[in-house]
């Protein structure tokens, strides 16, 4: 049984991408055939399939984003694609979470999700990106144009190996065997990305990431990198990234990785060892042997005239900075921001890990890079009230850190999360000498006050239905398809606590809104067909 047949409309004419797409198409068809035989997959089969989808997301998305970096695609062209990748990862994560809660997952719902993804992503978004990649290759620019040939013909050894791994077995394989074969073929395709990096004209390094998410050993260096640094590729592969950069550059590693995790890339200047002038660098992530690694691409220095002619003059004026994305730090000078970033460190928090407890002394301000963190209070009987949910690019702990007060809530990671801790001491020093920062802090705390006042008003004067509707609209944005859509920031029981509702009440409210045609729910994604009708419903 086939629900999607591999055909020319699915091809991007980029071998490594097409190989990965075809593997997903074949696995979707195998899943459809399995469900045609039996009404549902076993728990072990679902776990195996979701494990493959997680691997697929990590390998395939990092492949596409590495290609965009290798070919010098502009940020505006890659941003939407990166957001689409993040959405797929979140949806697969939700399914893994649902399986962990009750051990049951609707196979038909999973199949529908994958079928929609194949049509929307491969036939739509990926074709647009592939066209941009080919156009970038055809017109190289001095600051980031295509420097890597995209493989479009021939059968590379890695592709032959992938085809062999997916070849039908002599006897009819079990569904678990089919998934395992596709997983092995997907991992084999990583060699295709390494091949492209190796043959690129831009200096390229593939760098491992240690347990603290810091760039570490250089795993691969291409010929262009060897020429750039004046060492053989083998010699470079015995060093760490910090060894080939200027001494102070290692202080920026937490911010570089934060940008890669949050935006899919870092673009900015890097000072290399022994070089008088900085070079323009672009960092993105790769999946290699199941682990995250960094792809570091270096571009030769260019004049302002060449940059203006290439249309990237504005991009070269300022490095990307994770702190500059938040209103608290946007008014800082580059020197002030660099000082904070150099003092900051990344924290990897597994799901359920407590960041700090109520009553703890503050260590600084926490900026969420990825994941979600709940801020809550509890009593001796174990009852808990969620006070806030912090997601990517939101800060927490700032009032305590800036006033020196003990934490009044506890903070706990709702999902595997990465946080950037900005230490208290440099923040307090900056508060005393920077008027723009002091003004930003006052404005931020003022917004916090008004938000808390609005919540208290809602709890006292609004019905549960009104609170749910206003919460949805507060999180609603126009998605890539032009539809108003809210993304629930956490699991329903966490949202229920935050809205001062019981989980059953929240579920009944969502069901009532769905039956009235006011929302369409798919996991944590809530489509709102008509905002005015939804608002009017809350006042009926």
**What is the three-class DSSP state of 442?**
helix
Handedness of CA 167, 169, 170, 173 (dihedral sign): negative
CA–CA gap between residue 399 and residue 387 (Å, rounded): 14
Please list the pLDDT of the chain residue by residue as tens digits (540 residues). Answer: 566 778 787 888 888 888 888 888 888 888 888 888 877 777 788 888 888 888 888 888 888 888 888 877 766 666 777 777 777 877 787 777 776 555 566 677 777 777 777 777 777 778 877 887 777 666 554 444 444 555 544 344 545 555 555 555 555 678 888 888 888 888 888 887 888 888 878 899 999 999 889 999 999 999 999 999 999 999 999 999 999 999 889 988 998 999 888 888 888 888 898 777 888 888 988 888 888 899 999 986 555 555 454 444 444 445 567 888 899 999 899 899 989 988 999 999 999 999 999 999 999 999 999 999 999 999 888 889 999 999 999 999 999 999 999 999 999 999 889 999 999 999 999 999 999 999 999 999 999 999 999 989 998 899 999 999 999 998 888 876 678 999 888 888 899 999 999 999 999 999 999 999 999 987 788 999 999 999 888 665
CB contact at 8 A, 144 and 280: yes
CA–CA gap between residue 320 and residue 315 (Å, rounded): 9
pTM of the predicted model as reported, rounded to 2 decimal places: 0.82
- List phi, psi (to 5°) of 281: -125, 150
Q: Residue 404's closest CA among 360, 456, 445, 435?
A: 360
- β-pair partners for 522: 525
Task: Check residue 436 and give its pLDDT.
Answer: 94
Q: Residue 46's closest CA among 61, 58, 34, 29?
A: 34
- List phi, psi (to 5°) of 148: -120, 130
Residues 378-382: contacts with CB under 8 Å, at least 24 apart: 378/410
Q: Which tokens in the block code for residue 296? A: 């570091």
Please name the residue ranges forming H helices in 189-269.
Answer: 190-199, 223-229, 233-236, 241-244, 253-263
Number of residues assigned to the chain:
540
Q: Report all structural domains of the chain as residue ranges with CATH numbers, in order of start.
A: 8-196 (no CATH), 202-315 (3.30.450.20), 334-460 (2.60.120.10), 464-539 (1.10.10.10)
Half-sphere exposure of 67 (CA within 13 A, CB side): 30
**What is the three-class DSSP state of 273?**
coil
């Amino acid at each position: 049984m086939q629900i999607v047949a591999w055909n020319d409309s699915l091809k991007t004419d980029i071998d490594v991408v097409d190989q990965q797409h075809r593997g997903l198409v074949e696995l979707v068809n195998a899943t459809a055939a399995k469900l045609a035989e039996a009404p549902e997959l076993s728990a072990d089969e679902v776990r195996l399939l979701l494990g493959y989808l997680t691997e697929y997301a990590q390998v395939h998305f990092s492949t596409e984003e590495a290609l965009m970096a290798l070919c010098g695609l502009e940020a505006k062209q890659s941003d939407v694609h990166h957001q689409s990748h993040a959405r797929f990862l979140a949806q697969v994560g939700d399914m893994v979470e649902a399986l962990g809660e009750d051990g049951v997952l609707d196979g038909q719902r999973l199949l529908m999700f994958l079928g929609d993804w194949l049509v929307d992503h491969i036939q739509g978004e990926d074709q647009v990106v592939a066209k941009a990649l080919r156009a970038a290759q055809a017109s190289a620019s001095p600051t980031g144009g295509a420097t890597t040939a995209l493989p479009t013909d021939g059968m590379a050894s890695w592709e032959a190996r992938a085809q062999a791994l997916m070849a039908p077995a002599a006897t009819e394989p079990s569904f678990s065997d089919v998934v395992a074969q596709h997983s092995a073929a997907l991992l084999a395709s990583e060699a295709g990305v390494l091949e492209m990096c190796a043959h690129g004209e831009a200096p390229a390094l593939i760098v491992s990431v240690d347990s603290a998410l810091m760039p570490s050993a250089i795993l691969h260096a291409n010929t262009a990198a060897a020429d750039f640094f004046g060492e053989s590729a083998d010699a470079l592969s015995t060093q760490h990234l910090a060894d080939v950069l200027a001494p102070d550059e290692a202080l920026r590693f937490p911010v570089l990785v934060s940008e890669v995790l949050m935006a899919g890339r870092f673009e900015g200047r890097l000072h290399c060892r022994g070089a008088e002038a900085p070079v323009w660098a672009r960092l993105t992530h790769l999946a290699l042997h199941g682990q995250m690694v960094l792809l570091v691409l270096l571009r030769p220095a260019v004049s302002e005239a060449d940059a203006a002619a290439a249309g990237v003059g504005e991009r070269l004026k300022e490095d990307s900075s994770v702190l500059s994305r938040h209103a608290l730090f946007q008014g800082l000078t580059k020197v002030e921001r660099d000082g904070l970033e150099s003092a900051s460190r990344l924290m990897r928090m597994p799901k359920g890990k407590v960041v700090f407890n109520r009553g703890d002394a503050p260590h600084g301000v926490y900026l969420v890079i990825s994941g979600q963190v709940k801020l809550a209070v509890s009593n001796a009987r174990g009852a808990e009230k969620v006070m806030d949910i912090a997601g990517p690019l939101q800060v927490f702990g700032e009032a305590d850190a800036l006033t020196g007060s003990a934490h009044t809530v506890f903070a706990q990671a709702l999902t595997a999360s990465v946080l950037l801790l900005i230490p208290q001491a440099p923040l307090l020093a900056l508060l005393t000498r920077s008027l723009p920062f002091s003004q930003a802090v006052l404005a931020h705390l003022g917004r916090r006050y008004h938000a808390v006042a609005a919540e208290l008003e809602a709890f006292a004067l609004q019905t549960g239905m009104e609170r749910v509707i206003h919460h949805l609209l507060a999180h609603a944005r126009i998605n890539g398809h032009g539809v108003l859509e809210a993304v629930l920031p956490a699991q329903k029981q966490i949202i229920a606590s935050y809205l001062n509702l019981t989980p059953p009440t929240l579920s009944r409210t969502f069901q009532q809104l769905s039956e009235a045609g006011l929302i369409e729910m798919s996991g944590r994604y809530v489509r709102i067909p008509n905002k005015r009708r939804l608002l009017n419903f809350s006042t009926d």
